[in-house]
Amino acid sequence: MMAATETYKCKGCGKPFEARTADRERGWARFCSKSCKATKQSSVRSPAKRKYPRHDGVSEMKHKVCDTCGAPAINGVHTITGIEWGCRLHHDTTHPFDSDALGQS
């Protein structure tokens, strides 16, 4: 038995392509090819098109506070228990593999 297919318009390039109806209902089959999807994703995620730009890691954050003192946080460190936020005073700026952090001279 043959699966039901329909012709759809690619969300990336606009060309028509055939896809299974069941895949389309799952939210798949939006692009005609993997390369077309990758092109579309890279253009959406480029810094110029971001709705909210990434944080620079130096300036104070608007909605994050330091876990130690409660001052506005500048950056966070991922740990096993979650993210530890730190202000300018309490944020450790050494990289874990830096020679200072490893105790090498």
Find which of 3-7, 16-20, 62-66, 73-77 is predicted with most confidence, using mean pLDDT. Answer: 16-20
* pLDDT for 76 beyond 90: no
Cα separation values, 97 from 21, 31, 88, 102, Å: 50, 42, 21, 6
Q: What is the pLDDT of residues 78-104, one digit of tens each?
A: 888 888 898 888 887 666 666 665 666
Q: What is the pLDDT of residues 22-64, one digit of tens each?
A: 999 998 999 999 999 988 887 655 566 666 677 777 788 888 9
Backbone angles phi, psi at 5, to 5 degrees: -125, 160
Cα separation values, 9 from 21, 37, 44, 67, Å: 13, 13, 19, 49
Spatial distance between the Cα atoms of 28 and 105, rounded to a whole number of angstroms: 54
Prediction pTM value: 0.42
